[in-house]
Amino acid sequence: MTSFDLAWGEHRLRFGPRPLIMGILNVTPDSFSDGGSFFSARDALAQAEKMIREGADIIDIGGESTRPFSEAVSETEETRRVIPVVEALANRVKVPISIDTSKAAVARRALDAGASMINDISALRADPELAGVAAASDVPVILMHMKGSPGNMQVSPEYNDLFGEIYTFLEQAVATAVEKGIHRSRLIIDPGIGFGKTVQHNLLLLKYLSNFKAMNLPVLIGTSRKAFVRKLLKPDHLTDIDPQQPMVETGTQATVAVAAINGANIVRVHNVADTLATLKIVAAIQTAEAE
């Protein structure tokens, strides 16, 4: 695994022999896996602290579902959902808090409340002011590839050159971010598993994930409980299976292991405890030497 050391403000992320773990905290009523489970600030705070105890290196807080065919929420509503959680958590934990948003105003409020990273699925395309917020705050920014928007991204996504198109998109996103004042050392790239991709596209991205290491930036992968895992595991008589079924988590951990082996620097997951166990075994195998 390529070694990176990302330091800013009071935070430092050291990328060592295993990927870091980003714990997902959806403060939404409609996310595909855990919508409604942590909608209250109290429940969200308890879940975040649980993930940190289990080994999360980063907590990613989102107030707008980006599942396929989801509808956008207003800036006011998204802010109402996330800011109390960010404020409460920032006063109680030391790990970096990432705000999962594409809206500059939400990101600005979250950073003022104690967040210290921005995770933007639009790669700074949705809101022209977001790059300025990130540059002024000098915080890490995750740039993700997405074909289309959450509302239409899974309507027959096609590519002429899967890796070439995604790689070029991310290169251009990085160049734009730097042009707008974000230091390259603050950037993390995400090929966007499940965002405008078929099952086969997702499998190929995981199989050849090392292709993205040529960009010489940390790579984040988010496969947790996603539809392609469920489709691969579902019995023939069902159209889908519950994302929280044990077999879905088992499938997720298989993807985490492959991502780790193929060069992921951060994995974004719902189940931190199982992920840490998976990554410890993978790291032990990768670092084993003959006596």
Q: Catalytic residue positions? A: 226, 268
Q: What is the DSSP letter of 184?
A: G
Radius of gyration of the chain (CA): 18
Nearest to 254 by CA among 236, 228, 234: 228
Quote the tokens at residue 62.
């989102």
- Asked if 110 and 83 count as a contact pair (C-beta separation under 8 A), the reply is yes
Nearest to 21 by CA among 286, 252, 290: 252
CA dihedral 117, 70, 103, 144 (to 10 degrees): 50
206: amino acid identity, one letter: L
β-partners of residue 201 are: none
- Asked if 218 and 266 count as a contact pair (C-beta separation under 8 A), the reply is yes
Could you list the beta-strand ranges (E) of the chain. 4-8, 11-15, 20-26, 58-62, 97-100, 117-120, 141-144, 187-190, 220-221, 266-269
Q: What is the DSSP letter of 212?
A: G
- Asked if 50 and 92 count as a contact pair (C-beta separation under 8 A), the reply is no
